[in-house]
Chain A
Amino acid sequence: GQSLEQPSEVTAVEGAIVQINCTYQTSGFYGLSWYQQHDGGAPTFLSYNALDGLEETGRFSSFLSRSDSYGYLLLQELQMKDSASYFCAVRDRNFNKFYFGSGTKLNVKP
Chain B
Amino acid sequence: DGGITQSPKYLFRKEGQNVTLSCEQNLNHDAMYWYRQDPGQGLRLIYYSQIVNDFQKGDIAEGYSVSREKKESFPLTVTSAQKNPTAFYLCASSSPVEGSNQPQHFGDGTRLSIL
Chain A residues within 8 Å of B, Cβ to Cβ = 30-31, 33, 35, 41-45, 48, 50, 87, 89, 91, 93, 95-103, 105
| Given A87-B42, A96-B50, residue A42 in contact with residue B100 (CB < 8 A) | no
Which 9 A-B residue pairings sit nearest by Cβ, starting from the closest?
A45-B103, A30-B100, A102-B42, A42-B106, A100-B43, A100-B42, A103-B42, A42-B108, A43-B106
Interface size, chain B (Cβ < 8 Å)? 26
Chain B residues within 8 Å of A, Cβ to Cβ = 31, 33, 35, 40-43, 45, 48, 50, 56, 58, 90, 92, 94, 96-97, 100-101, 103-109
Chain A residue, CB-CB nearest to B88? A40
CA distance A93 to B42 in the complex (A): 21
Q: Are A50 and B107 in contact, with the CB atoms below 8 A?
A: no
Q: Are B104 and A45 in contact, with the CB atoms below 8 A?
A: yes
Chain A residue, CB-CB nearest to B42? A102
